[in-house]
Each structure stands twice: as structure tokens, then as C-alpha cells.
Amino acid sequence: MANCLNILTSGFTVDGLFQQLINGLTLGSIYALIALGYSMVYGVLELINFAHGDVFMIGTFVVLGVVDRFGLTDQSSLVVVIPALLVAMIAAMAVCAALGFTIEKVAYRPLRNAPRLAPLISAIGVSFLLEAWVATYVSADYFTLPNLIHGEIPILPDVSISYVQILMFVSSIAMMFFLQLLVRRTRLGRGMRAVAQDRDAAALMGVNMDRVVSFTFVIGSALAAVAALLWTLNFSFNQTVGFIAGLKAFTAAVIGGIGNIPGAMLGGFLLGLAESLGAGYISNLTCGIFNSSYQNVFAFAFLILMLVLRPSGILRERVSERA
């Protein structure tokens, strides 16, 4: 018992707590960006796009390719790095958008009116396809980018936020506002909201279902590409990174309320925090019985809890009733 009390507070510092919070928020911002794609697609089609995480993964490899092409190292000055990263972002967005569009057209559109199981299985097939393709024709190895953006801002004596982390956080918030703008001010955005509310009525009002769905996929995939760029700046990746990241992003979307854009953001941040704090402090809190390798379990546990207690998510989902 005394041992348990020792374990409870061992290694705990306020600095550490702050750092975990920052870690959680930055990780969460990437989940949020990916979750936006899931959320939008589900709102419009009521389909979990399993392949979305793998579109994100392709984005990471495109970024890798561009950075490689530019020959960036961690000595490269910002003058070279910033334009290179911009090029990488545009390239990744283009590739991912095209990929998302194609996937929707080929694998989901024929199954628009099929029972729910069918597009889900199709999505799994596409996910397999993408991962295996990258593993076969690009590489099955892990990759990291060199340290391209250096520097940090100290907050507390032992805690600092790196510029990369600030970039992640700011980008995702910015993307969310941009997306809200898109959804509220453009015609296609209005169409999205209409379809999400009531598919048949929207069709009756002259909304072009095909166009709206394609638009949704394109935007969602482009956002995933931005997330991919941010991911590569800080973490490693290989062809399996999309799957787990996608799963967690979907969990984030559900937590916040599927179909709901601010909800996806909120869910992302919450999940990131839960993971960071959970993995960081679980062994303290459970007397060492559970260890930090249970990290993924938290995400799923969070999901299951949400679905049991509050299935519509924190900010309430926005999905139409299927007739």
C-alpha cells in the first residue's frame, strides 16, 4: 500500500503536467484536422470512410518525396525550408484531393443506395489497397523528416512550446475557421448542409448530390493533407500510420458529435489530451498495474464510453435521419 502511494506521485512535476498538456493539444490538433474529414463525410453520407486515414498516409509520403527532392536537411535555413514546405503542402493537398475524389467515384458512388454494410466493406478494401500499394511500391520502412523548424518559446522554467507545436495548433484552428466559412458561405457548402439535414429533400430542392459529395471528399482530403504535413514535421511514419491515426480521428469526431465541425475540433483536442495524460499518468494512478503501453486502449475506451453514455457526442451530432 505504501508502495502504491509512492507510485502515485513519483515523477510528477508541474512542468511535466504542462508539457503533457501541450503534447496533448498538439497531437489533438492533428486528430482534429483528420476528424474534420471523417465528420463531414459521415454527415453527408452516413459512411465511415475507413480509407480517409490512408489518404492522410499518402499525404505524408508526398511530403517526404518533396522534402527529399529539395534535399532539405536540418541545417537548411528557413529561407529554403518555408517555400519547400509550402510546395509540399500544395502537392500533398493536390494528390490527396485527387485521391479522395477518385476513391469516392470508384468505390463509394456505385454503392450509394446499397445496404450500409457494402460501402463500409468497400472502404476497408480501399484502405488495404492503399497501404499495400505504398508498402510494395514505395517502401515498408519507417521515415522521419530532419528537424526543419527549430526553436521554441519557453513558458515555464522547464517547459517550452516549439514553433512546430505552435504551428500545429494554429493551423488546425485556422483550418476549422476556413472550413466553417466554406460551409456557410459557398453554394456547395450550403448543399452539404442541406444533404446532411435531409438527403431527399435536398435532392428535391435541386442540390446536385454527386457534386456535393465529391466536394465533401475533396475538402476533407485536402485537410488530411495539411494534417499529414504537420505530422511529418514532428513524428515518424510508415504505411500503417494512417490506420491508427484515422481510427483515433474518427473517435474524436464521434466524441465531439459526428457531422459537427466545431465538434470534431473539440473531440480532437479532448482525445489528444486524454491520450497524453492517460499514457503519462496511468501507471501512477493505477499503482503500476496498467502501463503506458495501454495508450491505444484509452482512445477506444473513451469511444466506447461516449457511445454508451452520450452517443450523439458532446456538441451533438448533425446527421439526417435515414428514411
Partner 1 sequence: MVRARGLAVLASATLLPLAFACGSTGSGGGGGTASTCKPDSVAAAPAQTAAFSAQLASVVHRAAQTSNDPIIKIGYIGILSGQYTSYGVDEQRGAQLAIDAANAAGVSYNGTSYTLQLDSQDDAADPTKGAQGATKLVDDKVVAVIGGTFSGATIAESKIFSDNGITQISPSATNPKYTSQGFKTAFRVVGRDDQQGPADADFIVKTLGCLNVGVMDDKSQYGQGLADAVNTQVPVDKGTVVDREHVDTNQTDFSAQLTAMKGHNPDVIFYGGYSAQFGPIVQQARRLGIKATFVSGDGSQDSDAIKLAGSDAEGLFASNAGPAPSLQPGYAAFQAAYKAKYNDNIFQYAPQAFDATNIIINAIKAGGADKAAILAGVAATNNYQGVAQSYTFTSTGDVKESIFTIYKVESGAWKAVKAVTLNVS
Partner 2 sequence: MSFLDIFQAVLHGPFGDFPFAILAWQAILVGAIYLAVRLLRGRIPKTAFSPLRPVGRGASAALRNIYVLVAIGLLLPLAELFTGGYLISVTYSIELYVMLAIGLNIVVGFTGLLDLGYVAFFAVGAYVFGIFASPQLADVTHRTLYFLVPSGPAAGIHISMWVLLPVAGLVAALFGALIGLPTLRLRGDYLAIVTLGFGEITRIFANNLDTPVNITNGPSGVTDIDPIWIGNYSFGDPNHYLGPFRFTPFLNYYYLVFVLILITVFIVNRLANSRIGRAWGAVREDETAAEVAGINTRNLKLLAYASGGFFGGMAGAVFAAGQHIIAPESFQLFVSILVLCMVVAGGMGSIPGSILGAVVVGAVYFLTSQFQYLSILVFGILLVLLIIVRPQGILPSAQRKLELEVEIDEASGPPPAGETLPA
DSSP state of 293: G
Q: Which of 12, 13, 116, 205: binder of partner 2 (CB under 8 A)?
A: 116
122-151 residues near partner 2, rule: CB under 8 A: 122, 124-133, 135-138, 140
Answer yes or no whether residue 67 interacts with partner 2 by CB under 8 A.
Answer: no
233-262 residues near partner 1, rule: CB under 8 A: 234-238, 240-241, 244
| C-alpha distances in Å from residue 229, one per residue of 113, 131, 133, 226, 243 | 35, 18, 20, 5, 17
Burial of 108 (0-12, 13-18, 19+ CB in 10 A): buried
Q: 284 near 269, Cβ under 8 Å?
A: no
Q: Which of 254, 265, 274, 282: binder of partner 2 (CB under 8 A)?
A: 254
Which residues does residue 159 pair with via DSSP β-bridges, in sequence order? 156
| Residue 157: CB minimum distance to partner 1, A | 11
| C-alpha distances in Å from residue 59, one per residue of 39, 81, 94, 216, 319 | 19, 18, 9, 18, 28
Cell numbers found for residue 190: 450550403
The HSE-up count of residue 185 (CA atoms within 13 Å, CB side) is 6
Q: Which is nearer to partner 2, 24 or 54 (CB)?
A: 54
204-233 residues near partner 2, rule: CB under 8 A: none
Residue ranges binding partner 2 (CB under 8 A) = 42, 46-48, 61, 65, 106-107, 110-118, 120-122, 124-133, 135-138, 140, 247, 250-251, 254, 288-291, 293-294, 296-297, 299-301, 303-304, 307-308, 311
Residue ranges binding partner 1 (CB under 8 A) = 10-13, 15-16, 19-20, 23-24, 27, 73-75, 140-147, 158, 160, 162, 164, 234-238, 240-241, 244, 275-281, 291-293, 295-296
